[in-house]
């Protein structure tokens, strides 16, 4: 079975809604990435060094990341030799195979989120202002609530104007309780109140918002550490997830933010928002390969149910849907 047929067989067994969200949500990246790739393939009669050099440019243009591109193209060179490939069109399938391979490994066997029955599960959301952190929390609350979990929100971003009110709006939309204090309050104190309330009400999952910008990066990271200490003191082994929210439309800036947060705190996964609004969706691959942090969820639209668990094969289907559907 060819790799394209394997992906096609997998998505055939899924609901149309999941397949459609990835296909529609990645349409801008697909037009930019696979469109340019198809044009490039049509110009070459053979696979030579000039072919690989232009391929590098196309991949870098999709924000796959310089180091990842160099590594990927080197692997393609070896694979082309091993398989004795001379037709450029045959390289497309190998490219897709290698992109999926970047995501294979231990993370594939793990659940999207470390949520277990019989305990208070605490998920801490971090990230700079403007990336869609509060919106992501609201969408995840809706998702977990629809799965039968009792969910509560903690309004720990007490510094950004309107952040508490924004989270309250999402709490109403998702029909979950929001624990808050007044603007400018100590975020760690908000977390303490939320933890006590969550324990008293038998909550399954507590989703915690945090500040995205203080006076400088040091202050921000110190504040996050303080919040984590309070959580860990009240619930051993918590937080169970630290999710870094990044805006996909910022491309390589998202990669830089991920690197900075990884250096300062224990990020367990990434939520990449606004993937439907960018032509540079290759940033998913750059983050995974460059930082070894799994992208656990992606935002593919503005609706409350447009937050989707990340799946490598669904992702590459979204990138190459037109090509895969032809097979």
Q: The domain at 121-311 falls in which architecture?
A: 3-Layer(aba) Sandwich (3.40)
* Residues in the annotated binding site for GTP: 127-134, 209-213, 273-276
- CATH number of the 14-108+319-326 domain: 1.20.120.140
CB 291, CB 262: distance < 8 Å: yes
Instruction: Quickly count: other Cβ atoms within 10 Å of residue 218's Cβ.
Output: 10
Please give the structure tokens belonging to residue 303: 């609706």
pLDDT tens per residue, range 306-315: 899 988 888 8
pLDDT at 253: 85
Confidence of residue 62 (pLDDT cuts 50, 70, 90): confident
Strand (E) or helix (H) holding 58: helix 49-61
For the annotated binding site, the residues are 127-134, 209-213, 273-276
- b/e map of 34-52 (b: 16 or more CB within 10 Å)? bebbeebbeebeebeeebe
Read off the pLDDT of residues 69-94 as tens digits, 9 standing for 90 and up.
Answer: 998 899 999 999 999 988 888 888 88
pTM of the model: 0.87
Q: What is the rounded (10 degree) CA torsion for 224, 296, 252, 103?
A: 130
Q: Which of 23, 13, 6 has the alpha carbon at shortest distance from 318?
A: 23
* pLDDT score of 104: 63
What integer pLDDT is reported at residue 138 of this predicted model?
95
Topology match between the domains 14-108+319-326 and 121-311:
no
What proportion of the chain, given as a percentage, has pLDDT over 70? Answer: 88
Edge to edge, the sheet with strand 205-208 lists: 177-179, 151-154, 205-208, 121-126, 241-247, 269-273, 295-299, 307-309
Domains of the chain by residue range: 14-108+319-326, 121-311
CA-nearest of 209, 165, 219 to 187 is 209
């Amino acid at each position: 079975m060819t790799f394209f047929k394997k992906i096609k067989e997998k998505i055939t067994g899924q609901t149309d809604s999941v397949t459609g969200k990835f296909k529609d949500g990645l349409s801008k990246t697909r037009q930019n990435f696979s469109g340019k790739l198809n044009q490039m393939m049509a110009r070459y009669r053979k696979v030579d060094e000039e072919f690989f050099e232009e391929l590098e440019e196309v991949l870098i243009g999709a924000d796959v990341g310089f180091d990842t591109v160099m590594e990927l193209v080197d692997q393609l060179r070896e694979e082309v030799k091993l398989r004795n490939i001379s037709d450029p069109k045959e390289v497309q399938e190998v490219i897709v195979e290698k992109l999926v391979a970047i995501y294979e490994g231990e993370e594939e066997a793990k659940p999207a989120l470390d949520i277990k029955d019989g305990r208070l599960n605490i998920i801490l959301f971090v990230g700079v202002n403007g990336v869609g952190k509060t919106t992501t929390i609201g969408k995840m609350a809706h998702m977990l609530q629809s799965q039968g979990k009792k969910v509560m929100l903690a309004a720990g971003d007490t510094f950004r104007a309107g952040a508490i009110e924004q989270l309250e709006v999402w709490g109403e939309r998702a029909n979950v309780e929001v624990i808050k204090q007044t603007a400018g309050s100590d975020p760690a104190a908000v977390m303490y109140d939320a933890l006590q309330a969550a324990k008293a009400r038998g909550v399954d999952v507590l989703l915690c918002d945090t500040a995205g910008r203080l006076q400088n990066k040091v202050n921000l990271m110190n504040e996050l550490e303080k919040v984590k200490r309070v959580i860990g003191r009240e619930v051993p082994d918590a937080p169970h997830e630290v999710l870094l929210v990044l805006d996909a439309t910022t491309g390589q800036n998202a990669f830089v933010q991920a690197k900075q947060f990884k250096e300062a705190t224990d990020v367990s996964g990434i939520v990449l928002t606004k993937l439907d609004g960018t032509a540079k969706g290759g940033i998913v691959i750059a983050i995974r390969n460059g930082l070894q942090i799994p992208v656990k969820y992606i935002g593919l639209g503005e609706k409350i149910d447009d937050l989707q668990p990340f799946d490598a094969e669904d992702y590459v289907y979204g990138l190459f849907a037109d090509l895969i559907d032809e097979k």
